[in-house]
Amino acid sequence: MSSLLTNSTAMTALQTLRSVSSQLATTQTRISTGQRVSTASDNAAYWSIATSMRADNAALSAVSDSLGLSAATVDTEYTALTSVVGDSNGGLTKLQSLLVEAKTAGIDRTKIQADVTQIQQQMQATASAATFNGVNWLSTTTATPTTVDLVSSYSRVGSTPTTGAITLTVANYSLYTSSTSGILDKVSGGASVNTIDISTLTDSAADQTTLNGYIAQVTSAINSVASAAANLGAVKNRISTNTDFVKSLMDSVSRGVGQLVDADMNQESTRLSALQVQQQLGVQALSIANSSSQSILSLFR
């Protein structure tokens, strides 16, 4: 039956065309965004997981930045500590050799004290200069925190996040403090490493005993500073390892998100071509279906 009011053929063609156009719009969106799940309406479960994983990756990125800052801080303090330990030309090592030299009978200890004073001033200047971003663990004040947490990791299990940190005790690295309790300014045997003065000492047995005490004091300081430097060296290695791991983890999370929401561009390009052909055929079919009603006019001529 031919009807002017109901053209079932045209209705079928139009319905098919609408379906193809809808699929074509979806495919074009995937191609333009590069994602098959770009909104919650595309796939609520995958979108929710991907959103949470992206948030985790942002947190890991912050951890990576924090590790970079921590590495620079630790490296600054470590460099200063190794400089204070010194070698045959300066630092505690040179100071120790000068004190041993000062035990020589008849030697001019006033001249040796001139070198000792320069080394003492240089070590204090080195500790004061060991500052990065306003942080200094070698020359501290009452405002300096007793412990420092270096953010090292982030993880989330379910809805519970966990942030890991490397905790350092500042007193283990303090060479000079406002309360004179540091490794180099702590008084022992009447003087600290920072205030040793041999200019008035003589060859007497008592003064030789005093020199022995100074030598033992400097030797102990070398051991303490070397231990502090070794500890920071281990922290440096840990930070470096954590940095590499966090970067690898971020890449892994990004790949996981991609597998959930990224569009297969090869598949989408093929699908686009097929849908464009179907759209053209749908338009042609609708045109044919609409033209059939025109033939009815011939019956009334």
- Is 119:90 a contact under the CB 8 Å cutoff? yes
Per-residue pLDDT for 300 more than 70? Answer: no
Q: At what angle do helices 8-33 and 265-291 cross, to 10 degrees?
A: 160
Residue-wise pLDDT tens digits, 84-113: 999 989 999 999 999 999 999 999 999 999
First and final CA of the chain: distance in angstroms?
A: 19
- Is 152:170 a contact under the CB 8 Å cutoff? no
Q: Strand pairing partners for 113?
A: none
Model confidence at 228, in pLDDT bands (50, 70, 90)? very high
pTM more than 0.85:
no
CA 231-216-142 angle, to 5 degrees, is 50
Model confidence at 50, in pLDDT bands (50, 70, 90)? very high
> Strand 176-177 relative to strand 147-157: parallel, antiparallel, unpaired?
unpaired
CATH T-level assignment (fold) for domain 59-231: f41 fragment of flagellin, N-terminal domain (1.20.1330)
- Is 149:156 a contact under the CB 8 Å cutoff? no
Q: Which of 194, 216, 233 is nearest to 84 (CA)?
A: 194
Q: What residues contact 264, with CB distance under 8 A and at least 6 apart?
A: 36
- As a whole number, the mean pLDDT across the chain is 89
